[in-house]
Structure 1
């Protein structure tokens, strides 16, 4: 299949709607960033427009420039700026203004900072929880170079979901990710989150970067042993010609197969799998919310979530 022409199943509608405009204006007024915009997420219109609910956004902390240069990511690299000490409270205020009851926080990598930004991330979690303890907070964190005390800062702040993306199979960590990242380093973060955290753990893989099926299977096995609860699969899309090329546009049926394998063979609590699925994805958030807030069983939450997709 041609790399330059996307198949029909990857077409999306442009963002629109009153809710989309409201969220965008709130973020601009508070000088906040979202990974939805910075990474050109294809689901931005769906999530911000809130066609199936109140709408959501994934806040990106610590600026819009990353200290690393992963070959799949559209976030700019270098030119790091000082942290904004007002950002944690600004995020908490924006969450209240938008009216979110499930918040996703992520960040750029900040290897340039003494604690790599772990304290700032933790402060944002606490600011949201202090304003309204009922808000569920999902955190998609960097690897903090695998330093346990920095990961512990995030765990101690009390997130409801702690996510860290392994991104791809072991063999393809480079050239997909920055050389400072790594398969075992990411697994160590997920193991620590499972061991020390009172929260669900989550990770995500991209397909279409040159992986083989047996490698994906092995990755699922490794993630299961690391104690991961939720896994997502999505199609890698090349942000620009200077980024990693797409190796394959994976058919939706293959994504369906991986969902069945993840849940049936490896007993992950939930797997969101599809070409347009991303690590911060509303279906996964609805599943966790159903379990945590509504007290549904895992099976009931799975069925309710799929019915809403």
Structure 2
């Protein structure tokens, strides 16, 4: 069966001019968003390791504002399965088109890079691979197993696509036993048609819930961006939906427009509003909440994982 997504992917590949969006206004960033430009010696060493192992990082592909800080600590988030995505989300700076074949050496390359970087905690994400029968699930599992083999003490966090219409894919990934399973909702449901058109909000909620059903001990995590025109009550409802799915960790950060071709920033949410979101989320029962203008899914992931474990132990009366 040919879906609307299949048609959109082919059109974006064959006729890239049709995939272009009209220019939108880019708001001036407030002072609390500004970060230092990268360039330390450790940053350059991290960059060299990434290049030598032929790796793609979401830090670069998504234009993350925290790259200078993270790479100066040798914290790089690996993006597997290539640098071309089969979807065209309005917020994302990753290229859209027809991806190349999977690299069979990638799992070992990632594992070696983790060893060279000396990572105690690693985050692995990917592009969407709707072109693959399993959405790339087995490749995720292969990467997890390769890291475990070479770096047995390293904890692993994955940030996955939604595996939409890929029966059995989620089960393959969960069976590989990552320590944290992250899948981002990205925004409130009313924005999905314009911001995340290839995805389905309640499918993503159900995916996170299913992870807990398959492995109740696995930490689950999700994140959203604000500043996309959402209402406060919509964010609070989203929190409730995630808690129904028993999600442990919520991240909330400011959406930053990559280029004029992407969805515009409707407004910059103040640091005080982010603190308020964090307070409300904690009362709703999340084990951990990270809510600030520069919060990103993998920012301080290692430190956050340690806090997650402490929070669970305290909840169980073991701390």
Output the TM-score relative to the length of structure 1: 0.90
CA contact (8 A) 2:288 2:311 kept: no
Q: What aligned pairs does 1:1-309 form with structure 2 within 5 A after superposition?
A: 3-50=26-73, 55-145=74-164, 147-177=166-196, 179-197=197-215, 198-264=217-283, 266-282=284-300, 284-292=301-309, 296-298=310-312
Residues of 1 paired with 2:194 and 2:44: CA distance?
37
| In structure 2, distance between residues paired with 1:298 and 1:118 | 28
Q: Deviations over 1:240-269 (max 9, x none)?
A: 0110011110001000000011012x1100
Distance 1:89 1:47 in 2: 23
Q: Paired residue for 2:12?
A: none
Check 1:67–1:194 CA distance in 2 against 1; reply closer, same or farther (3 A cut).
Answer: same
Q: Which has the higher contact order (CA 8 A, sep 6+)?
A: 2
What is residue 18 of structure 2 aligned with on the other side?
none
Per-residue deviation at 1:133?
Answer: 2.1
- Cα RMSD of the aligned pairs, angstroms, is 1.6
User: Given that residues 204 and 233 in structure 1 are in contact (C-alpha distance below 8 angstroms), is that contact kept between their aligned partners in structure 2?
Assistant: yes
Over residues 78-110 of structure 1, what are the superposed CA-to-partner deviations in whole Å (9 max), with x where a residue is unaligned?
Answer: 031011000000000000011101000000001
Alpha-carbon distance in structure 2 between the residues aligned to 1:17 and 1:161: 30
Number of residues of Structure 1 aligned to a counterpart in Structure 2: 290
- 8 Å Cα contact 2:183/2:221 also seen in 1: yes
Query: 2:5 is matched with which residue?
Result: none
Q: Note the C-alpha offset of 1:18.
A: 1.7
Contact 1:145 1:180 in 2 (8 A): no
Aligned-partner Cα distance in 2 for 1:298–1:145: 30
CA distance in 1: counterparts of 2:243 and 2:307, whole angstroms? 22
CA–CA separation in structure 1 for the residues paired with 2:252 and 2:260: 23
Q: Residue 161 of structure 2 contacts residue 183 of structure 2 at CA under 8 Å; is this kept in 1?
A: yes
Taking a change above 3 Å as real, the CA distance of residues 58 and 242 of structure 1, as seen in their structure-2 partners, is: same
Q: 1:289 offset after TM fit, Å? A: 2.4
**Compared CA separation, residues 172 and 130, structure 1 to 2 (3 A):** same
CA distance in 2: counterparts of 1:297 and 1:240, whole angstroms: 38
Structure 1 pair 93–231 and aligned structure 2 pair: CA distance change class (3 A) = same
Residues 26 and 257 in structure 2, CA contact (< 8 A), matched pair in contact too: no
Distance apart, 1:173 and its partner CA: 1.0
Distance, in Å, in 2 between the alignment partners of 1:69 and 1:3 is 20
Distance 1:4 1:247 in 2: 8
Please give the secondary structure, in 2, of the residue aligned with 1:272: strand
Structure 1 unaligned spans of 5+: 302-309
Is this contact kept in 1: 2:287–2:308, CA < 8 A? no
Shift of 1:299: 8.7
Shift of 1:147: 3.6
CA distance in 1, matches of 2:26, 2:133: 41
